[in-house]
Structure 1
Amino acid sequence: MNERYRGSGTTPETHTGLTGPVPAHLPQRLTITLWDFSWYTRAGDTEPYADLDAAVADAASLGYNAIRICAAPLLLFGGLGLEELAGDLEIEGLGPAPGGGYYGQRTRWYDTPGGYSIDLRARLIELFDAAARHGLVIILASWEYQQSPSFAATPAWFDAIDAVPLDDRYRVLAGAWDRMIEFLTAHGHRDHIALVELHNEIDFSILPALADGGTEQVGWLGSKHPDLLITASYGKPPHLAMHQVPGGLGAAQFHVYSYGVLDALQQVVDIRSEGNTGFPNDALRAMLRPDAPSIEEYGRAAEWKYQATLVTDRMLYGYDWVDADAWDTWLLEEYGRYREVMRREIESRVIAIAEWARSQGTPALVGEGWVGYTPLHGTFEEGPIGRALAEHGIDTALERGVWGVVLCSNAAPHHPMWQLRDWQRAQNARVLAS
C-alpha cells in the first residue's frame, strides 16, 4: 500500500530527548531513592537513618543521584505555631501493641518503633549538607496531609494542619515552601533542590482537587522562584484522560503502580476496607501466622492516628500477622494470569505521563512505582518477577525521555530491597548512561 494512505501525516513524531528542559545545574538524568518521611521516622539508634551522612554516602555508592523526601514544610515553616514541636519532635510510630511489639511492625513504611526525639529543622540541613558532600540532589515533597503526622507521639502536628480550612490548604503549603526555600538558600543549598512538590499524591491526600486552588499556588510559588521546578504529584494520574491534569506544572512527577495480581489478592483477603466486622475472612485466616492474635487481642492504634493516615485497621492487622511466605506463594501461583496486563499497564502509564509532559514542554519523573504495597517480609517485588516489571518500567521511561525514575519504591535503606546492591548499581548505571 502506498505510504500516503497509512495516516502517517507529514510530520514524523519524535520521542527522542527529554520531555522538557531541565535546569542546567541539575543532572540530566535522575535516579531516585525514595526516603519519604522515613529519614526522620526511622532515625533511632541502630536504625537505617541514624547516621544521615553514612546513609547518603551509601546511596551514592549504589549510583543514586537524587533523594525524594517528605520535608515536612507545614511543621517547619507553616506558621501554625509548631516551631517548638519541630525542634523537639518525639517519634512514636503507630504505638505499642498490647501483645508486645508495636503496630505496623511487619509493614513497609509503618514499621516505626520510635522512642526518640529529633530537631527536624537541624536534621533537614544535615541531610542537605550530606547530599552536597556526596553529589546528590533532593526532591522536596510533603506527606503531611497523607500520613507523616501519624508517627508523632502526640496529635499536635496533625491537629494544627487539620484545622486549616480545606480550601486554604494549598495556600498554606505554598507559603511554607516559600519560607523553606529561603531557609535552604540562606544555608547555601538552593542548587541542591531538584524539585519542589506542593504535596505528594494530591489525589490520595486530605486536599481538594489540584484544579481547586492547587495550580494557582504552584504558579505563585513558581513566580517567586523561577529558577526552580515547582509542581505537585499524582498517585494515580488519569492515564486514559490526561487532558484532565491541569497545566502549569513545572514537572510531571506522577506515580506508576500496576497492582494487578496484588490487587486480586487484596480483594480475596478483603484487606483494604475498614472495620473489623466479619474480618478476617476465611481466606486471610488461612494465611495468618500460627502466633497471630485475634483481631480483638490485637486491638487498635490511637484513633487520631487513623485520621492522620490512609492506613486502615484491617491493613495493619493483616500485614502485621500474615505469613509472608503464604502471601508470596499466592502471588507467584496466580501471576501468570496477570503478567501481560501488568506489563502493558506499566508501559502505557509511563507513556501517558511522558507524552503529557512532552506536550507541556516540562520534564517528567516517575517518583514512585511499580507493583504496590506488600508486607515487609514479602519478596514478590524484590524477586525476579518484581525486578523484571521494574526493569520494564525503567526501559519505557528511558525510551520516552523521562528525566527521573525510581528503581522501585522499595529501593531505599528502610526496605529489605536495599540489600540487592548489585541490581541497584546496574540499573542506576544504565539510567545515568542514557
Structure 2
Amino acid sequence: MSEELRYLGSGTLDASTASLTGAPPSHLPSRLTITLWDFSWYTRAEDGGPYPDLDAACAKAAELGYNTIRICAAPLLLFGGLGLEGLAGDLDIEGLGKAPDGGIYGRGTRWYDAPGGYRLNLQERLLELFDAAARHGLVVILASWEYQQSTVFARSPQWFEAIDAVPLNDRYRVLADAWDRLINALTDAGHRERIAMVELHNEVDFSILPALADGGSGQLHRLRELHPDLLVTASYGKPPHLAMHTVPDGPGAAQFHVYSYGVLDALQQQIDIRSEGTADFPNPALRALLRPDAPSVEEYGRLADWKYRATVVTDQMFYGYDWIDPDAWDTWLCNEYGIYREVMRREIESRVIAIAAWARWKSVPAVVGEGWIGYTPLHGTFEEGPIGRDLAERGIRTALNHGIWGMVLCSNAAPHHPLWADEAWQRRMNTLILTAPGS
C-alpha cells in the first residue's frame, strides 16, 4: 500500500520571492545598482577632490558597472522659496572649518572630510550632473539631506537658519513644494526620464523632522498625485523591521536602509563616541585607541556653534573620529567580531526580507539605498576588508533573492570613499546584480 503524504497546511509551501516586489516605471533599468554620492558631489568638488569633474565621475561610475547615483539635490536651497536664490547661485563651501592645528575638522570622518575653499552655482551644477548622467547612461535618485547635515558645509549659516525657521509642522509641505518645482525644472531641461526616484527626505527617522505619519504621509500622496509617472517616497534609516505594518501609508517605493551595527555598536558604546557633553570624555577605553599625537578636547577646539545644530553628528564623534588610530580601531573590531558574526549576517538577511515583504504587500518597488555595517572612521578598513565585503555580499544576494529592485554595494562604494579603489570587487558585484534573474 502506498504511503500518503501528510498534509501540513499551506504554510509548508514556499511562495516565490524571485520576482520584483513591485513594477518600476518601464523606462528605468530592470535593476538599479547604486553609488551613493549624497551631498559630496557638491561639497567635495575642490581641485584634486573626488568630484571637480562631474563628467569624469559619471564615466567612472558607469565603467565600474553602476547605472544609478543617489544624491542630495538640495531642493530647499534651490527651490524652497525661502529667499535663498542668491546663495544657491553662489554657494561658498567651507566644510567644517579649520582646527587650531591648521588642519580641517572632520579630517578623519567619512562624508565630513571636506576642505572647502571654493564657490559654486548649485542650480547650474545640478543640470551639469544630469547632463553628465545622460551621456553615460545613468539615472538619478533624488533626495534631501538638508534637515540632517547638508547645510553644515556652507561657510554661511544662512541656508541652515532659513530651513530651521520653517515651523516643524510645515517642513514636509515646504519640502513637497520644493520638490515639485525642482522636478518641473528638470523636466523643462529634458531630464524627467532620468529621475529614478524622488525621496521627500533622507532618513526621516534620523532628521530634524516630525514622524512621517505627522504630515509626511499626506505630502507624499500630494507629490505623487502631482507627478504620477514618478516614484515618490521617503527613506528610513532604521525601518521598524519587527513591525513593518506601522510604516505609514504614502511611500510609492520601499526605500529603506539596512545597517547591522553589531560589533561596531559594541565598540561605540564602550568608548562613548556618539554622545555629547559627557563629563569625562574621552574615557579610558577611547584614549587607548587614540593616536599618540591626539590633542586634548580643549586643544582640538570646536566647530562654529551653529554647525553642531546643523548636523546629527556630535562633538564627541568629530573629536574621536578625527584622532582615532585606524589600526587600533580595526584590531578591536576584528578581535571581537567572532561572537557577532552570525547575528550580524542574520540581521542583514532578516531586515532585507522584512523590507521586501512589506514592499510586496504594498506592490511597490523596493530599494536598499544605504547599508551594510554603519558609520566608521575614514581610514578604518573594517567595512572595506574581507569581513565587510562578506556582509555586503550577504545583503546583496539576499536582496536579489527577495525581489529588491535596487541596492548599494555598500554605503562606502562612492568616489569620496576608500572602497572606490577596489574596482574588481565593485565590477563583480555590479555584474551579479545586473545579470540576476529578472534583471
Match of 1:399 in 2: 401
CA distance in 1, matches of 2:240, 2:20: 22
Q: Structure 1: how far apart are the matches of 2:311 and 2:354? A: 29
Cα distance in 2 for partners of 1:57, 1:376 equals 24
Q: 2:69 aligns with which of 67, 70, 75?
A: 67
1:312 is aligned to 314
Residue 205 in structure 1 maps to residue 207 in structure 2: yes
How far does the alpha carbon of each residue in 1:355-409 deviate from its partner, in whole angstroms, 9 at most, with x for none? 0000000000000000001100000000000000000000000000000000000
What is the match of residue 363 of structure 1? 365
Please give the per-residue CA displacement for 1:237-278, whole angstroms capped at 9, x wherever unaligned. Answer: 000000000123110000000000000000111101001520
Instruction: Assess if the C-alpha contact under 8 Å between 2:105 and 2:322 holds in 1.
Output: yes
Displacement after TM superposition at 1:4 (Å): 5.2
- The separation in 2 between residues aligned to 1:85 and 1:235, in whole angstroms, is 29
Q: Secondary structure at the match of 1:35?
A: strand
Q: 2:302 and 2:321 mapped to 1: Cα distance? A: 14
Alignment of 1:18 with 2:2, yes or no, is no
Find the counterpart in structure 2 of residue 103 from structure 1. Answer: 105
Question: For residue 174 of structure 1, what is the aligned residue in structure 2?
Answer: 176
Q: What secondary structure is seen at the aligned counterpart in 2 of 1:255?
A: strand
1:183 aligned residue? 185
CA contact (8 A) 1:276 1:295 kept: no
**CA–CA separation in structure 2 for the residues paired with 1:262 and 1:137:** 33
Q: Report whether the alignment pairs 1:270 with 2:246.
A: no
Q: Is the 8 A contact 1:34 1:411 kept in 2?
A: yes
Distance in 2 between the 1:270 and 1:15 partners? 41
Map 1:95-244 → 2, pairs under 5 A: 95-244=97-246
Could you say which residue in structure 2 is the equivalent of 1:90?
92
Tell me whether 1:257 sits opposite 2:259 in the alignment: yes
Contact 2:18 2:400 in 1 (8 A): no
The one of 246, 249, 259 aligned to 2:248: 246
Q: Does 1:377 align with 2:379?
A: yes
Closer, same or farther in 2 for the Cα pair 1:83/1:9, shift >3 Å? same
Instruction: Spell out the pairing of 1:273-352 with structure 2 (5 A cutoff).
Output: 273-352=275-354
Counterpart code for 1:362:
V
User: What secondary structure, in the 3-state scheme, does the structure 1 residue paired with 2:70 have?
Assistant: strand
> By how many angstroms is 1:14 displaced?
2.1
| 1:291 CA drift (Å) | 0.8
Segment drifting more, 74-83 vs 246-255 = 246-255
| Cα 1:72–1:2 shift into 2, 3 Å | farther
Judge which range, 321-330 or 93-102, deviates more. Answer: 93-102
Q: Say if 2:330 and 2:382, in contact at 8 Å, map to a contact too.
A: yes
Distance 1:2 1:265, change over 3 A: farther
For 2:94, the aligned partner's letter is E
SS state of the match for residue 395, structure 1? helix
Q: Are the aligned partners of 2:371 and 2:408 in contact in 1 as well (CA < 8 Å)?
A: yes
Higher deviation after alignment, 424-433 or 13-22: 13-22
In 1, Cα distance between equivalents of 2:326 and 2:18: 42
Q: CA deviation at 1:5?
A: 4.3
Question: 2:412 corresponds to which residue?
Answer: 410
Structure 2 unpaired stretches of 5+: none
Identity of aligned residues (%): 74
For residue 3 of structure 1, report the CA deviation from its aligned partner. 5.5
Structure 1 residues 2-36: Cα deviation after superposition (integer angstroms, max 9, x where no partner): 75542325975221210001100000100000000
Q: TM-score, normalised by structure 1?
A: 0.99
C-alpha contact (below 8 Å) 2:35/2:69 kept by paired residues: yes
Residues in 1 aligned to 2:26 and 2:161: alpha-carbon distance in whole angstroms: 41
Closer/same/farther in 2, CA of residues 240 and 184 from structure 1, 3 Å limit: same
Which residue matches 1:390?
Answer: 392
Name the counterpart of 2:424: 422
Equivalent AA in structure 2 for residue 272 of structure 1: R
CA deviation digits over 1:285-318, x for unaligned, max 9?
1111111000110011011000000010100000
Q: CA RMSD in A?
A: 1.1
Question: 2:53 maps to which residue?
Answer: 51
Q: How many residues align?
A: 434
Q: C-alpha displacement at 1:100, in angstroms?
A: 1.8
| d(CA) in 2 for partners of 1:3, 1:167 | 59
1:303-336 Cα deviation digits (max 9, x unpaired): 1000000010100000000100000000000000
> Unaligned stretches of 5+ in structure 1?
none
